[in-house]
Structures are given as C-alpha cells and as structure tokens.
Amino acid sequence: MAKRDAIRRYMPTVRGPVVSFFTSAGGLVVMVLIGLIAGFFLSQQWLLSQGADHEKAIIALQADFDERLRVERERAAVKAKEYGIIDAASLRLQEDNQELLASMSSLESRVTFYKRMASPKGANVPVAIELFELLPTKDPSVVRYRILIVRSNASGKAAEGRVKVKVSNGRRQIELAVDKPRFSLRYYQQFSGEWRLPDGFKPERVDVQVRSGGKSLDRRYKWEVKTR
C-alpha cells in the first residue's frame, strides 16, 4: 500500500488544455458570458415570435373593424336615403297645401268680389280697394306696390276717380306718387309701380285714398314688405 501511494504522489495528473481552460477562473467567466449571450438570443427570438403573433392579432382586429365600419356606413346610407325620400314627400305635401290654400283664398276673393258687384247696396259705394301689397326689389330703398280697385256695382257707366297714397313714420308724412293715378273703370283696375323712399325714412303705415263720384274711400295699412 505504501508503495502504491508513493507511486500516486509522483504520477502527475494528466488533463487536456481545453479542460484546464474551462476549469480555470477565466474559463468560468467565458462560460458565463456564453450563457448570457445564448439567453439574450433566445429571449429575442421569443419576443420576435410574440411580436409576430401580436401583429397578426392587430391585423385581424383591423380587418374586423373595417368590415363593421363598412356595414354601418351602408346602413347609414340606406337610412339617409329613406329620410331623404320622407323629407321630399313632406316638402311636396307642404307645397301642395300652400297651393291649395292660395287657390281657396283666390276663389274666396273672387266670390266676395262678384257678390259685392251684384249687391244693390254696392251703388252707395262706387269703388272698393280689393288689394294692397308691397314687394321687395334688389334695392333696399325701393319697393314695388300693387293696388287693385274694383267696382262695387257694375251697373251704369264707368266709375272715374283718382288714387292718392301717403306714408308716415309717426313723425313725418309724405305723399308717394302713383303711376297714372286717375282711373276710369267698369269692373276693376290695377295700379303698380315702384316707390323710392327718402334716405333714413322708415314708414310705419300707409294711407290709401280713392276718390270717385264725389265720395272718398280711405284705407290704412301697415307698412309691410312681403318676402318672396
């Protein structure tokens, strides 16, 4: 035994250079670095794989959102078309109602006119003012006027007379010239033209006077320009 132990003490341990390097302190450091680098690359690979999955998920969500948006836009277009048809029908109905009301008003005015002409009492009042209206023009200081004079009774000779118009703003009154103010009518006559108002003058009322057969007919109207 003593001889064998002596042989072991004098026999050197045989190790290769690679094994010697990795068992040394420097080799351990290198191995740690290699482990860190390998772990880094593995983590990057995992992140890349996760990123690809996330990108696919985002693309799928975007496609689903685009499809839903397209469907909603189509629905909105259909609804807008339906509402447009309803609005057009409602507008047309309103226009028809306005035309009907205008026709009824015109018919009532004609009936009243002919009743007045046929009435024996009409002989006491030779003429009547059937219509007075003011219409706008492109110039704010200029208005168009229309005055309709009718016979109260169509029997006998033609009625003759004169039309005079005055406007007032409460402090000042001026006379506005009527185009061809004198008239001779058997049934009716219309006066129309334009009036230019003085600068800064804003009328509040209109006084229309019609003199015929020694009698005078006076009517007062509010100064109101109709909108077209």
pTM above 0.75, yes or no: no
**Pairwise CA distance, residues 45 & 195, whole Å:** 91
Is residue 183, in this structure, part of any structural domain at all? yes
CATH number at residue 152: 2.60.40.1200
Q: Work out how many domains the chain is built from and give that number.
A: 2
For the CA atoms of 36, 37, 39, 45, the dihedral, rounded to the nearest 10 degrees, stands at 160
**Does residue 10 belong to any structural domain of this protein?**
no
Residue-wise burial string across 50-80, b where 16 or more C-beta atoms lie within 10 A, e elsewhere: eeeeeeeeeeeeeeeeeeeeeeeeeeeeeee
Instruction: Verify that 103 and 198 share a domain, yes or no.
Output: no
Q: Residue 143 is part of which domain span?
A: 123-222
C-beta separation of 183 from 149 below 8 A: yes
Same domain, 155 and 109: no
Instruction: List CB contacts of 131: < 8 A, sequence separation 6 or more.
Output: 146, 147, 148, 190
Helix spans in 11-24 (H)? 17-22
Residue where one domain finishes, among candidates 59, 88, 118:
118
- Same-domain check for residues 66 and 104: yes
204 neighbors 114 (Cβ within 8 angstroms):
no
Domain end, chosen from 88, 118, 148, is at 118
In the block, which residue shows the tokens 């068992």? 23
Please list the pLDDT of the chain residue by residue as tens digits (228 residues): 554 555 455 444 445 555 555 566 665 666 666 766 666 666 666 656 666 666 776 777 777 778 888 888 888 888 888 878 887 888 777 777 777 776 666 666 566 656 555 555 545 567 889 899 999 999 989 999 999 998 877 666 888 899 999 999 988 999 999 988 898 888 889 999 999 999 889 999 999 999 988 888 899 999 999 876
Identify whether residues 24 and 114 lie together within a single domain.
yes
Of the residues 85, 118, 151, which one is the last residue of a structural domain? 118
Burial of 126 (0-12, 13-18, 19+ CB in 10 A): buried
